[in-house]
Amino acid sequence: MKLEKVSQPKGTRDFGPKVMAQRNWILTIIKQKFQKFGFDELQTPALENLSVLLGKYGEEGDKLVFKILNSGRYLKKGEAGEVTKEILDQGETKLTPLISEKGLRYDLTVPFARFIAKNHREISFPFKRFQIQPVWRADRPQKGRFREFFQCDADTVGSYSPYADAEMIVLAHEIMEALGISEFSFHLNHRKILNGICSEFCPEVAQERVLACLDKKEKIGNEKVLGLLKELEVSDRGLDGFKKLLEMEAGGISIIEKIEELANGSQLAKLGLSETREIFKSVQDLDLPNFSLKFTPSLARGLDYYTGSIFEIVVPGSEVGSLCGGGRYDDLTGIFGVEGIPGVGISFGLDRIFELLKSKGSFPDAMSEDSRFLVCHVDENCMPESWKLLGELRKADCQGSIFPETGKLKKQIQYADKNGFRYIIVVGPEEIKNQLYKIKDLRTGEQESISMKKIIQTLMRID
């Protein structure tokens, strides 16, 4: 057997039973909280037309979209006509659109925008949806970066209200609490503030390039960010202002005044500050336990489409990066020709949350399937009675299994042990005669011989 023949593709993973149970524990919490907060589930296909996907993620993103080869005689059909030697000579850029019309979902936002643009006449806004699905990126695989990974998104679209922004923050806080993550920092900023400051400090430089530099603060430090800004030909006065911005510590809403001063009367920044204040106040009004929201003026977030609040959760001292992030966008569906639908969204990274909980060793014990039993038979003749006992236990809704092979009792017990069964129930000639079965708790080592009815009570009590 060649090993490569049984490997999954680079950057993708198989998830066996134990990891699945842990991932599902996280996903169930996120999903329940999404539903509790009034978000409804949506699923979109893994495949999208490339006309939908391309041009939305920047040039680099377009390259990372997995493209599906057209079916059948793809060289000769299609509106574009036959693929010729001349086209081949012009390379992939020319050839790809002729032989590929579909790609794999790259994130959940663009398919969601496509869904809204398609169905906006039937939807009554505000529309609150969540979506938990895998996405695919042809990125170079490396530690913690995969080609297939899950995103968990919640969005409220069709509302300009700062309460919708505040709700995302409350939701994220509640999810962190439920996951047992308490040592996180919640950073909030506002793109209008940043944009106002940029107009003030460097009106001549494209703002998204400035924001891309600020976004690197955590990774490369203030000095290097300022170096990058200098490369963009930001003036000395501007650099001086950005230096102050970068050095401003995350804090309560009180630092708003400092920002106001820094922004030097920019109307846009003022608007952003006022919205930020409202969001802050709405969150504080709820008196959430163990929660401090940090106003972090240098937070920039990577994505281009944010236009209002931006926020993220990081765990200080952890290497996994932000656990969730999001923000407000003014125009979700404009790229699909439907204007004027604003919204605010948040996205949780399953893999990062998983890595964090794993590194802390903090998946709860209750996750192991506590009351699972394995019915074992002393010899082959006891198999029919073992099978019937299993049937009765299942009728009572107990969760368990049988060792279907003929095999020594010792082997069966080893199997139970190895596969995480909590109990074994032994069926032998004596047991069948007396209708009392030996049940052993593999965790405590305790065992007793009891009736089927009592076994059911034992198994169900724990559930």
Q: Report the nearest approach of its own copies to the CB of residue 172 (Å).
A: 13
Among residues 39 and 437, whose Cβ is nearest to its own copies? Answer: 39
3-state secondary structure of 325: strand
| Torsion sign across C-alpha atoms 106, 109, 110, 116 | positive
Both tokens assigned to 306: 């944010």
Residue 404, preceding peptide bond in cis (omega within 30° of 0): no
Q: What is the SS3 assignment for 87-127?
A: HHHHCHHHHHHHHCCEEECCCCHHHHHHHHHHHCCCCCCCE
Among residues 44 and 207, whose Cβ is nearest to its own copies? Answer: 44
Q: Report the nearest approach of its own copies to the CB of residue 319 (Å).
A: 24
Within 8 A by CB and 6+ apart from 397, the residues are 460
Within 8 A by CB and 6+ apart from 375, the residues are 386, 387, 389, 390, 393, 400, 401, 402, 403, 424, 425, 427
Q: Which amino acid appears at position 74 of this protein?
A: Y
3-state secondary structure of 328: strand
Q: Report the nearest approach of its own copies to the CB of residue 258 (Å).
A: 27
Among residues 107 and 200, whose Cβ is nearest to its own copies? Answer: 107
**Beta strand spans in 228-323 (E):** 293-295, 309-314
Among residues 73 and 410, whose Cβ is nearest to its own copies? Answer: 73
Q: Report the nearest approach of its own copies to the CB of residue 7 (Å).
A: 7
**Beta strand spans in 278-414 (E):** 293-295, 309-314, 324-329, 343-349, 373-377, 400-402
Task: Specify the DSSP class assigned to residue 281.
Answer: H
Within 8 A by CB and 6+ apart from 386, the residues are 375, 376, 377, 402, 427
The CA distances from residue 46 to 121, 131, 132, 333, in Å, are: 24, 12, 12, 20
Both tokens assigned to 18: 């134990």
What's the rounded Cα separation, in Å, for the pair 343 and 330? 6
Among residues 103 and 241, whose Cβ is nearest to its own copies? Answer: 103
Among residues 150 and 201, whose Cβ is nearest to its own copies? Answer: 150
Q: Report the nearest approach of its own copies to the CB of residue 244 (Å).
A: 34
Among residues 234 and 283, whose Cβ is nearest to its own copies? Answer: 283
Q: Which amino acid appears at position 433 of this protein?
A: K
Q: Report the nearest approach of its own copies to the CB of residue 195 (Å).
A: 24
Among residues 112 and 201, whose Cβ is nearest to its own copies? Answer: 112
Among residues 55 and 180, whose Cβ is nearest to its own copies? Answer: 55
Among residues 91 and 316, whose Cβ is nearest to its own copies? Answer: 91
Q: Report the nearest approach of its own copies to the CB of residue 38 (Å).
A: 3
Q: Report the nearest approach of its own copies to the CB of residue 380 (Å).
A: 10
Q: Report the nearest approach of its own copies to the CB of residue 36 (Å).
A: 5
Q: Report the nearest approach of its own copies to the CB of residue 210 (Å).
A: 30
Task: Choose among 69, 46, 66: nearest CA to 57.
Answer: 66
